[in-house]
A and B are shown apart, each in its own frame.
Chain A
Amino acid sequence: MPHELLAALFFQGGYNTAVVIIGAAALGAAGGAVGVFAMLRGRALVADAISHATLPGVALGFMAAYFLGYSGRSLFVLLGGAALSAAAAVFSINAIRRHTRLKEDAAVASVLGVFFGLGIALLSIVQGLPTAGQAGLDAFLLGSTAGIRLIDAAALAAAAVLTLLSLALVFKELRVAAFDPVYAQAHGLRPERADAILLVLVLIAVVLGLRTVGLVLAVALLVIAPAAARFWSDRLGIIVLVAAGLGASGAWLGASLSAAFSNLPAGATIVLVLFVLFVLSFIAGAARGVVPRYLRRMNGAVAP
């Protein structure tokens, strides 16, 4: 089936598939760019909790749509529910950290587990509803490039581009908070504000990725490309650009593979392509890659 893969890669696999793949690439870029700041602030695993915590919102969104008489397939009702429950999870993590003796790791792990468990319980109720379309909910768990309406795919892509643009707007603030929170405070910039903005961007990036990558692996969009980009440069602006580029290429390649071969689930395929890019960066990355560093040491230069 190589020609089907080529067709998908070069957007010849049908108009709908092409838009979905372009949308996936935009999501990959947004996730990669936002993820750089999450990584630098040590919040990578909060993104994991956020993505698992979207499940009860997806299930409740479906139920709400069902009881209000809609088909329950409107992507944006489900994503709206996902965003609300993810926001509730972020609020819970912060409340536990601030008001109890439990530490961040216990707060993140318990919120992740309990929200996901609630989602699973609600999902088993949804599966008993006498309505079609529950099968579509599987796509939210493991991701899929199939069955996304054209207009939804285009809207997801547009939202991803908007996320990138807003990231550019707050870039300076996030940079100061990431590298020098003390300096930021001394100059009247409030790092908590930058952290709050970052959390909102993380939440948006995760929720936009749900339908294509699936909530179990959505966090990978925000973790793998940034960690890979770190091998290529020590300058933040370049790291962000490389992370966006790697995220976009991984999502583009993975989504194309999944569209061409129906037994490759989209989320897992995208994640594994990203992992291959990570390993290549680990070996060859210009700034911190193993081989360039070894060569520099051979030439007698001081390792950075």
Chain B
Amino acid sequence: MTFLAIDLPAVLAGALAALVCALVGNVLVLRRQALLGDAISHVVLPGLVAGFWISGAASLVAMLSGALIAALLAVALIAVFRNVGRVNGDAATGVVFTAFFAAGILFLSVSGAGSTNFDIHTVLFGNLEGNLWVAAEGWGSLLDPVALVELPDSIGRLAAVLAIVLAAGALAFKEIRLVAFDPIYARASGAPYRLVAGGIVVLTALAAVAAFEAVGAILVVAMFVCPAATARCLTDRFGTQIALSAAIAVTAAVAGYVLAAFVPLTLGFERSVNAAGVIVVTAGLLQLAAMLFGAKRKGYGPRGAFA
């Protein structure tokens, strides 16, 4: 059952990662923080590698705590350079995230952690295809709790983060919408602005780390922005935008995987194409279509108001 063992877990990991990032991305795109996902996925690398290095294996607790420590350290450093050194925000962020990523690359090549399943290519190209379900023996395994436990851990973690994101969104939908669309009013109106804004950063970091570790950097960077930007060109309503972005993310993940894994082989090529890359390109094409033909592609008001 190669489909169940190889393709299903990869599609599942890709779709869950895309979904988690896209949901959070809706707020980032409205708050003009679309590059936050990019910065975080660079910054956590040394933490992931150090965790891997210290624990001597792909221990998830060690890697995730390493990532968290690295992210907190980076945020603190950026704040120091901005507030004490008066470096502007853009430059401070650029300095810190390139230095952290460089440190991660250096750790990887010096420690030799790259000899196992975590190397520089995995980081850059993603390891969607590395999500395997060895216990799958047939369709019956889908109903077999013993076999289901053997699904890759990364899928379980992504599902947990998805649950957290959904719960936070459901609990604070109105507050999040206010902070996203009208931060000035949100601040003035006495809404728990700092709590909501801080919560958004925490959710972004959670989503980035879980997805980065499961599918690699490139999916994270693109899925934080493309589905939400696509949906933004289609509607003015926040709820509709979120639902659309979720559907777009899952569509891109599934369609991209199918295009990458099956089409080249069907056409007679010997190798499949990198799935994470094709998923991202699919999401980009959907965004292009929305930017060209979407009902709300321009301006804030009805179509054409600012054209």
CB-defined contacts of A99 to chain B, threshold 8 Å: 291, 297-298
In the bound assembly, the distance between CA atoms of A269 and B277 in angstroms comes to 27
State the Cβ distance, A197 to closest chain B Cβ, in Å: 20
B interface footprint on A100-121 (CB within 8 Å = 1, 0 otherwise)? 1111111011101110111111
CB distance from B233 to the nearest CB of A (A): 6
Residue A248 is within 8 A (CB to CB) of chain B in the complex: no
Encode contact with A along B254-296: 1 for CB under 8 Å, 0 otherwise.
0000001000000001111110111111011001000100001
Give the contacts of B98-154 with A (CB-CB under 8 A). 98-99, 101-103, 105-106, 109-110, 120, 124-126
Smallest beta-carbon distance B174→chain A, Å:
23
Smallest CB separation, B229 vs chain A (Å): 5
| Selected contact of A227 from candidates B95, B103, B124, CB within 8 Å | B95
B-contact 0/1 string along A115-144, CB 8 Å cutoff: 011111111110110000000000001100
- Of all chain A residues, the one with the shortest Cβ separation from B42 is A216
Q: Give A116 to B125 CA distance when docked, in angstroms.
A: 10
A121 lies within 8 A of B291 (CB):
no
- One of A21-29, A73-81, A217-225 contacting the partner: A217-225
Interface residue count for A (Cβ, 8 Å)? Answer: 58
Residues of A within 8 A of B102 (CB): 217, 220, 267-269, 271-272, 275
Chain A CB within 8 A of B195 CB = no
The answer to whether A106 and B29 have CB atoms under 8 Å apart is yes
Residue of B99, B226, B306 near A113 (CB, 8 A) is: B226
Query: Is the Cβ of B105 less than 8 Å from the Cβ of A268?
Result: yes
Given the interface pairs A116-B218, A227-B94, the reply to whether A110 lies near B277 with Cβ below 8 Å is: no
Any chain A CB within 8 A of the CB of B299? yes
**What chain B residues lie within 8 Å of A65 (beta carbons)?**
none
Residues of A within 8 A of B126 (CB): 120
Given the contacts A109-B35, A118-B281, A269-B106, A101 and B232 also touching, CB distance less than 8 Å: yes
Specify which chain B residues have a CB less than 8 angstroms from the CB of A265 in the assembled complex: 105-106, 109
B37 beta carbon closer than 8 Å to chain A: yes
Give, as a whole number of angstroms, the nearest-CB distance from A231 to chain B.
Answer: 7
Judge whether B260 and A121 touch: CB under 8 Å.
Answer: yes
Residues of A within 8 A of B93 (CB): 45
Assembled-state Cα–Cα distance A161/B281 (Å): 37
Contact indicator B99/A275 (Cβ below 8 Å): yes
Closest residue on chain A to residue B299 by CB atoms: A101
Interface centre among A44, A101, A117, A127 (most CB of B within 10 A): A117
B53 within 8 A of A: no
* A residues whose Cβ falls under 8 Å from a Cβ of B: 39, 42, 44-45, 48, 96, 99-106, 108-110, 112-114, 116-125, 127-128, 141-142, 216-217, 219-220, 223-224, 226-227, 230-231, 263-265, 267-269, 271-272, 274-275, 278, 282, 288, 290
Q: List 30 A-B contacts (CB under 8 A).
A: A101-B232, A101-B297, A101-B298, A102-B233, A108-B34, A114-B287, A116-B221, A118-B280, A118-B281, A119-B277, A120-B125, A120-B126, A120-B274, A120-B276, A121-B274, A123-B125, A128-B270, A217-B101, A220-B94, A220-B95, A220-B99, A224-B94, A227-B91, A231-B85, A265-B109, A268-B109, A269-B106, A271-B98, A272-B102, A274-B99
10 additional A-B pairs beyond A119-B277, A268-B102, beta carbons within 8 Å, are: A45-B35, A101-B297, A101-B306, A113-B222, A117-B219, A117-B276, A220-B95, A263-B109, A265-B109, A288-B86
A-B pairs with lowest CB-CB distance, top 5 = A117-B280, A113-B222, A121-B277, A114-B284, A120-B277
